[in-house]
């Protein structure tokens, strides 16, 4: 049974007989009994009475009487290019004056926004703007009207369930090391260190390096084996090269947390290779061949099933429970969204892990299967989004299957393709939102091939947000020093140009600069040069340490340097319409949310703002 919350015990919902909100134009009276049982999540008051010049009754169905929902056949597009399908409409013709909404809309909207903010606060519900500035916020790259979404598909691993990285990836690493040992590789003394890598790094299989690139592909930091390279060495090695993920034979992007164990094992084996510890009887190996060997060892750990069998036997040791997550999906389902589970995991693993992660948190003896209109296991993503494969229906609890050619709502299937799903449900393209943690397998391929709307789950955002907050003082000091150097440098450059012109017998830029005597000009340049050199000595280590509160080697996940975005962040912005740290964050919003992309800053924005400021 679902946990129940009563207004008598919840501190945020103190017992009261009536709350009268005196508004400027209408009175709203919320009546609540002395003890109200609220199941699951924030339920509305038991009785709501709105005193107006018209009489309204609460309705349980949106398409009855007062309200109607815009059907697909009558949907239009709003001024931001989003479909109006699913929008709620008022059927009754009501004059603005009848409800006290007369006057300029700017004034009406301002008052209504103020009162809405007050009421949200009074009800203990965070507004979307405050949620946006939170580690649990949902961040929008491309405007998305959730009301227009008919189907929401979910990946499972690291999406609907989050694994303890040290436990899951640590065991994957252990099995990988065992397989490498059996293949003859020297692995004694090595231990799993998840701090060696972060998501979004790129393995250079030719050089045995792990690199962090900015949004343009320029390498900003690099590690050879487990040793970080100096800025000078990085420049010498990659100064004329860009990371190009299309060159899969050389570059391997760490798309997901599942990449952590492989990357750690590979970088440690690079050290052993450089030390000459890998014997010749393993064959002629280079860094690329070494990567293949590690990949083969890890692949065997997954294929042989020992790892997943261990996790299935004791899921509580590997899965971090999230009681809010099933309730977020329940809200979406009750709002009319059809939910899909599309996972590469097999039937037995999916059944066991979903039972463990969902059933105990669902109300009224619901099962995780009750949430989903369709379940696809062994989906073989990314090929699931790219081409067609045979589909099989799982017909018994033991996982017995039979071939089928069409999926039906409520079914459990293995294999198939995204196009089969679209045809079966009668929805296509941007009517579907797919949510996953893998930037390539889940997000980019469903976007590129099918034009589905996409959401990326990146749990590390919560730690990065906290690290950014704690780094504010450090970053403010650093930016102040850089700005000071820029001002000092501007004067230095102007005086240097004046000296250059003077040496050629030409006047300086201004009359005052031309009249400076040689000694004054030279001494000023010397003084400014010393100041800039001292600033450089102060700034350089501060730049190097920026982001170390998130990861001491690689800095922040989303940034490459003080201001620029990382290559991972560029991929997220390009392919993910929204992104967030966990699926349960949808619970802090509603299934009717209109996610609006924020204004994107451009290099010349600061200059135009400065100009307007001085004009005013």
Average pLDDT of adjacent 10-residue blocks, the chain of 616 residues:
38 33 35 33 35 34 73 88 88 70 87 88 79 87 95 97 94 95 95 95 97 96 97 94 95 94 97 92 88 93 84 95 96 96 96 96 94 96 94 91 91 95 93 97 96 97 95 95 96 94 91 89 95 96 93 95 93 96 94 90 70 59
Answer yes or no: do 303 and 169 share one domain.
Answer: yes
- Give residues with Cβ within 8 angstroms of 268, minimum separation 6: 190, 225, 226
Residue numbers of the domain that contains 84: 4-135
Answer yes or no: do 73 and 171 share one domain.
Answer: no
Can you give the pLDDT at residue 305? 80
Identify whether the C-beta of residue 452 lies closer than 8 Å to the C-beta of residue 544: no
Largest CA distance in the chain: 95
Helix (H, G, I), strand (E, B) or coil at 309: helix
| Gap between the Cα atoms of 432 and 419, Å rounded | 12
Strands 227-228 and 338-342: unpaired
Helix (H, G, I), strand (E, B) or coil at 148: helix
Answer yes or no: do 306 and 176 share one domain.
Answer: yes
Asked if residue 111 is part of any domain, the answer here is yes
Asked if residue 524 is part of any domain, the answer here is no
| Gap between the Cα atoms of 166 and 45, Å rounded | 44
Answer yes or no: do 192 and 242 share one domain.
Answer: yes
Answer yes or no: do 74 and 182 share one domain.
Answer: no
Answer yes or no: do 123 and 189 share one domain.
Answer: no
Answer yes or no: do 34 and 73 share one domain.
Answer: yes
Asked if residue 501 is part of any domain, the answer here is no
Tokens of 463: 């730690």
Can you give the pLDDT at residue 117? 86
Helix (H, G, I), strand (E, B) or coil at 51: strand
Helices (H), 347-425: 347-358, 383-386, 418-425
Residue with tokens 């609890």: 397
The number of distinct structural domains making up the chain is 2
Contacts 24+ apart (CB under 8 A), 277-283: 277/186, 278/185, 278/186, 279/184, 281/184, 282/183, 282/184, 282/185
342 beta partners: 376
Answer yes or no: do 307 and 176 share one domain.
Answer: yes
Asked if residue 599 is part of any domain, the answer here is no
Q: What is the pTM of this model?
A: 0.84
Tokens of 502: 């003077």
- Give residues with Cβ within 8 angstroms of 575, minimum separation 6: 439, 443, 444, 447, 448, 454, 456
Answer yes or no: do 131 and 167 share one domain.
Answer: no
Asked if residue 364 is part of any domain, the answer here is no
Backbone angles phi and psi of 27, in degrees to 5: -105, 135
- Give how far the C-alpha of residue 121 lies from the chain's centroid of Cα atoms, to the nearest Å: 27
Backbone angles phi and psi of 214, in degrees to 5: -85, -175
Helix (H, G, I), strand (E, B) or coil at 35: coil
- What CA–CA distances, in Å, run from 586 to 87, 253, 579? 19, 28, 11
252 beta partners: 203
Answer yes or no: do 168 and 66 share one domain.
Answer: no
Query: Which of 252, 286, 313 represents a domain boundary (last residue)?
Result: 313
Answer yes or no: do 116 and 221 share one domain.
Answer: no
Vertex 380, ends 414 and 146: CA angle to 5°? 85
Query: Which of 290, 313, 336 represents a domain boundary (last residue)?
Result: 313
Asked if residue 201 is part of any domain, the answer here is yes
* Count of all residues that appear for the chain in the document: 616
| Gap between the Cα atoms of 538 and 481, Å rounded | 8
Distance separating the N- and C-terminal Cα atoms of the chain: 63
Query: Which of 266, 292, 313 represents a domain boundary (last residue)?
Result: 313
| Gap between the Cα atoms of 544 and 178, Å rounded | 36
Answer yes or no: do 169 and 129 share one domain.
Answer: no
| Gap between the Cα atoms of 170 and 321, Å rounded | 19
Helix (H, G, I), strand (E, B) or coil at 295: helix
Asked if residue 327 is part of any domain, the answer here is no
Backbone angles phi and psi of 610, in degrees to 5: -60, -40
How many beta carbons lie within 10 A of that of residue 300, not counting itself? 18
Asked if residue 523 is part of any domain, the answer here is no
Identify whether the C-beta of residue 596 lies closer than 8 Å to the C-beta of residue 80: yes
């Amino acid at each position: 049974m679902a946990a129940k919350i009563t207004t008598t015990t919840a501190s945020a919902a103190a017992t009261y007989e009536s709350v009268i909100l005196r508004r400027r134009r209408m009175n709203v009276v919320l009546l609540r009994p002395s003890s109200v049982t609220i199941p699951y999540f924030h339920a509305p008051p038991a009785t709501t009475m709105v005193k107006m010049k018209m009489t309204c009754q609460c309705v349980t169905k949106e398409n009855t009487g007062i309200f109607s929902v815009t059907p697909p056949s009558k949907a239009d597009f709003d001024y931001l290019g989003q479909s109006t399908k699913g929008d709620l409409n008022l059927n009754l013709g009501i004059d603005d004056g009848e409800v006290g909404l007369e006057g300029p809309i700017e004034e009406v909207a301002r008052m209504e926004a103020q009162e809405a903010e007050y009421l949200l606060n009074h009800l203990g519900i965070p507004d979307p703007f405050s949620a946006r500035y939170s580690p649990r916020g949902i961040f929008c790259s491309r405007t998305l009207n959730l009301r227009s979404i008919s189907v929401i598909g979910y990946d499972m691993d690291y999406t609907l369930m989050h694994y303890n990285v040290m436990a899951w990836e640590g065991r994957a690493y252990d099995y990988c090391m065992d397989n490498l040992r059996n293949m003859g590789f020297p692995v004694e003394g090595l231990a799993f260190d998840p701090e060696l890598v972060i998501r979004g790094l790129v393995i250079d299989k030719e050089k045995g390096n792990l690199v962090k690139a900015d949004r343009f592909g320029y390498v900003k930091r690099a590690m050879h084996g487990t040793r970080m390279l100096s800025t000078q060495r990085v420049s010498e090695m990659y100064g004329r090269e860009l990371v190009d993920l299309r060159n899969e034979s050389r570059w391997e992007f760490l798309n997901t947390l599942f990449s952590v164990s492989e990357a750690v094992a590979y970088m440690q084996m690079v050290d052993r290779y450089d030390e000459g510890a890998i014997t010749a009887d393993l064959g002629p190996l280079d860094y690329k061949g070494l990567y293949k060997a590690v990949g083969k060892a890890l692949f065997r750990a997954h294929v042989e099933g020992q790892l997943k069998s261990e996790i299935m036997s004791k899921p509580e040791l590997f899965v971090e429970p999230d009681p809010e997550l099933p309730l977020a999906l329940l809200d979406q389902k009750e709002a009319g969204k059809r939910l899909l589970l599309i996972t590469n995991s097999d039937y037995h693993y999916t059944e066991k892990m979903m039972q463990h992660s969902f059933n105990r948190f669902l109300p009224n003896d619901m099962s995780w299967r009750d949430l989903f209109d369709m379940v696809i296991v062994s989906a073989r993503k990314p090929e699931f989004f790219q081409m067609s494969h045979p589909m099989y229906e799982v017909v018994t609890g033991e996982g017995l299957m039979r071939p089928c050619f069409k999926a039906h709502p409520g079914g459990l299937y293995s294999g198939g393709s995204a196009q089969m799903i679209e045809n079966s449900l009668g929805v296509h393209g941007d009517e579907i939102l797919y949510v996953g943690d893998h930037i390539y397998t889940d997000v980019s391929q469903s976007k590129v091939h099918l034009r589905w709307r996409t959401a990326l789950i990146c749990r590390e955002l919560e730690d990065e947000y906290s690290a950014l907050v704690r780094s504010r003082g450090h970053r403010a000091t650093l930016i102040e020093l850089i700005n000071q150097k820029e001002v000092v440098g501007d004067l230095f450059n102007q005086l240097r140009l004046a000296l250059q012109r003077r040496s050629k017998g030409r006047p300086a830029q201004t009359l005052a600069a031309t009249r400076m005597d040689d000694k004054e000009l030279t001494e000023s340049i010397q003084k400014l040069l010393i100041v800039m050199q001292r600033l450089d000595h102060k700034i350089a280590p501060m730049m190097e340490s920026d982001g170390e509160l998130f990861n001491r080697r690689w800095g922040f996940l989303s940034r490459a340097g003080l201001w620029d975005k990382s290559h991972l962040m560029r991929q997220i912005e390009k392919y993910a319409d929204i992104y967030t740290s966990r699926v349960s964050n949808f619970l802090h919003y509603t299934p009717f949310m209109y996610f609006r992309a924020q204004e994107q800053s451009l290099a010349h924005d600061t200059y135009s703002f400065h100009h307007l400021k001085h004009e005013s």
